[in-house]
Amino acid sequence: MDVKNNHYYTKIPQSRIATFDIYSIGLLKHHVSALLEFDVTESRRKLSELRKKGTNISFNAWLVKAISRTLEKYPEATSYQYSKKKLLTFNDHNISFLVEKQIGDQKVPLPVVIDQVNLKSALNISHEIENVKRHIVTEKDIVLDKKSKFYERLYYHLPGFLRKMIWRYILNHPRLAYRKMGNISITSLGMIGKINGWFIHKSIHPVSFGVGSIIQKPTVIGDDIKIRDVLNMTILIDHDVIDGAPMVRLLKELKKNIEMGAEIN
């Protein structure tokens, strides 16, 4: 600390540079934002019952699987725009999921890409996320569980306009984008602490989920008012790849799957 001037400098972790660029490029996407509430009381009860039987599935891992199950019925939502007349849709769901890691004296969110989520069980996804959380990282790491290549580390030393050109190139080549970052993004800030509200994130993926906190709220059940566990979630959907009507049907299907505890078995 500079005592004389009463201020000090803090080094920005390299991984944050990519966050700045993604936010900037994400502003150019034609995402529709949906702020939703999900009653997850029953889903949490089912997960708790499984734990008592010895099967430990984390809430976030199950949520990843429930989202993937829903999107299987609406594949256009996970598509990349290939041209003005074509969409490129991949059969598998590769999900980019942020995990907070300690680097030096700072906690930094780093992405991990979970491949073929649609083919995995919620339990397998839970194990995969836990393994990644135990992974030791350094400032040179860019994506968890994958060794960074030299040209990827070089990215952080480039001027801003070149870094943004790289992201535009990736997004203009959907196969490359899918290989590098998947076709679905999930950000779970709710695990940091309970906040009664939503956060509006930015993304460059076709569909992205900002998972907030689970808050107890009074809810009308039939003719009664009961205290229920309610999950806040923000969903970004690229309007260039899916129209409004199927978008609404997707959200209704997602609400059903999350609230009934689909894929908990």
Provide, rounded to the nearest whole percent, the portion of the chain with pLDDT above 70: 85
Judging by beta carbons within 10 Å of its beta carbon (0-12, 13-18, 19+), is residue 177 exposed, middle or buried? buried
Count of other CB atoms within 10 angstroms of residue 51: 12
Any idea where the domains of the chain sit in the sequence? 14-260
Q: How much is the pLDDT for 19?
A: 76
Which CATH code is given to the segment(s) 14-260? 3.30.559.10
Yes or no: say if 107 and 101 are a contact pair by the CB < 8 Å rule. Answer: yes
Q: Which of 210, 205, 264 is nearest to 66 (CA)?
A: 264
pLDDT of 250 higher than 50? yes
Q: Give me the residues paired with residue 187 across strands.
A: 210
Confidence class for position 9, pLDDT limits 50, 70, 90? confident
Q: How much is the pLDDT for 157?
A: 79
Both tokens assigned to 19: 């966050």
This prediction has a pTM of 0.85
Average pLDDT of the chain, as a whole number: 86
In three-state secondary structure terms, 11 is coil
Q: Which of 236, 186, 188 is nearest to 214 (CA)?
A: 188
Confidence class for position 27, pLDDT limits 50, 70, 90? confident
Q: How much is the pLDDT for 192?
A: 67
pLDDT of 53 higher than 50? yes
Confidence class for position 1, pLDDT limits 50, 70, 90? very low
Beta strand pairing status for 106-114 and 184-188? unpaired
Contacts of 232 (CB under 8 A, 6+ apart): 35, 36, 37, 190, 196, 197, 198, 212, 213, 214, 215
pLDDT tens digits, 76-103 = 999 999 988 999 999 999 999 877 666 6
Average pLDDT over residues 182-205: 85
Q: How much is the pLDDT for 184?
A: 96
pLDDT of 216 higher than 70? yes
